[in-house]
Homo-oligomer: A and B are copies of this chain.
């Protein structure tokens, strides 16, 4: 996963344009990606698809410079972060005072270059280290942004894995951030691998893995699928999965959707990680969970946007994410898929009195001793769960690991003692 991140890192992604198109091309080499698009100007609910943005070069140099790299004080070629996303073209000479309003820095983290965009309000700007901005001599500067904004297309991709059922699990990640590794090349890399794993065997549920530009991309997907969103039974926005933090799960707007309960129990079983209540601020869960859709989408990250100093800065680089942490996220998501596949409401086929587990080899023969073997306890709890909801509820109620509950349920099903509903 880290190798894929390293390959994608130099591309200047944005909502639209060559960078995001190249990113989708690269993803398509790994997994069967279905590509979709909407033309600029298309109305998507309250929004409109913007013009496509092409950025070729951007720099600041002392007045009179021809733009030779050695003369550039700020140079897009060194980092895609240096130019404000969707900057309009400019080629002019300005005094330092005139230039200042177009310079974005982080005074509290003076060596870091921030990430800024202005998608829906036409303007231009540069991002740079505050330490550099402070040292700029009071002189005139040549300022060049070689960009284009013209009608084009908003593009996205998705991997579709059809299962036995139309009921669909959606994983979504945004692909519009330029050279930022945790937010969000990590999300892209993990979902590519997860899609591969999910597609590798027959599945009960159907799955969709979305690679969409932030906000407008998720709105585009919702718009395209607006007549068939009722098949979506579970959804998860993933991003920021490569940093060194423990997991943070953010609940859906509903707060008690199946995905919320599953993720809470999985993190509880890990003995680490944090569950937070829904808030309407964040990533694309804002769109999936907006009142008109109110889909059961949670969000999984490690560090949370705005809470770690590297967030949306040049410090979110290749060193900030590790294969180990990406793998941990992939493992957790694979567990989630197993839970979604196995979960269902428990019905007992032998509800009057406890079934005699002993004669089925599901219980130890010698009574009187204190039996704390977890599989036996899990069996009792699963049987007890009949008529009381799903297997996740059994894990919640019992405090037993979800893995033990699923294992016991499988054995009880084989023994003909329970059914697990859809």
A370 at the interface (CB under 8 A from B): yes
Q: Mark A43-58, 1 if CB is under 8 A from B, else 0.
A: 0111100000000000
| Structural contact, B350 and A281, CB atoms closer than 8 A | no
A44 partner residues in chain B, CB cutoff 8 A: 353
- Contact partner of A381 (CB less than 8 A), chosen from B280, B356, B377, is B280
| Structural contact, A292 and B118, CB atoms closer than 8 A | no
Q: Mark A113-129, 1 if CB is under 8 A from B, else 0.
A: 01111111101000000
A85 partner residues in chain B, CB cutoff 8 A: 367-368
**A369-422 contacts to B (CB < 8 Å):** 369-370, 377, 380-381, 383-384, 386-388, 398
| Structural contact, B121 and A365, CB atoms closer than 8 A | yes
**A272-287 contacts to B (CB < 8 Å):** 279-281, 286-287
Q: Known contacts A312-B368, A352-B45; decide if A358 and B120 are in contact (CB<8 Å).
A: yes
Q: Known contacts A114-B368, A292-B351; decide if A356 and B46 are in contact (CB<8 Å).
A: yes
A292 partner residues in chain B, CB cutoff 8 A: 348, 351-353
A64 at the interface (CB under 8 A from B): no
Q: When chains A and B are docked, how far (Å) is the Cα of A403 from the Cα of B82?
A: 39
A381 partner residues in chain B, CB cutoff 8 A: 279-280
A354 at the interface (CB under 8 A from B): yes
**Least Cβ–Cβ distance between A394 and chain B, in angstroms:** 10
Closest B residue, CB atoms, query A307: B370
Dominant SS among interface residues on chain A: loop
A142 at the interface (CB under 8 A from B): no
Q: When chains A and B are docked, how far (Å) is the Cα of A341 from the Cα of B39?
A: 45
| Structural contact, A293 and B352, CB atoms closer than 8 A | yes
- Contact partner of A45 (CB less than 8 A), chosen from B215, B305, B353, is B353
**Least Cβ–Cβ distance between A355 and chain B, in angstroms:** 4
A271 at the interface (CB under 8 A from B): no
Q: When chains A and B are docked, how far (Å) is the Cα of A306 from the Cα of B280?
A: 45
Closest B residue, CB atoms, query A117: B367
**Least Cβ–Cβ distance between A361 and chain B, in angstroms:** 10
A366 at the interface (CB under 8 A from B): yes
Give me 16 other A-B pairs in contact (C-beta within 8 A), A44-B353, A116-B367 excluded.
Answer: A45-B352, A45-B353, A46-B354, A46-B355, A47-B356, A104-B366, A116-B368, A117-B367, A117-B368, A118-B365, A118-B367, A120-B356, A281-B380, A291-B348, A292-B348, A312-B370
10 sampled A-B residue pairs with Cβ under 8 A: A44-B353, A46-B352, A47-B356, A118-B365, A118-B366, A222-B353, A286-B354, A291-B388, A293-B351, A312-B368
Binding site for B on A (CB under 8 A): 44-47, 84-85, 104, 114-121, 123, 215, 218-219, 222, 226, 253, 279-281, 286-287, 290-294, 305-306, 311-312, 348, 350-356, 358-359, 365-370, 377, 380-381, 383-384, 386-388, 398
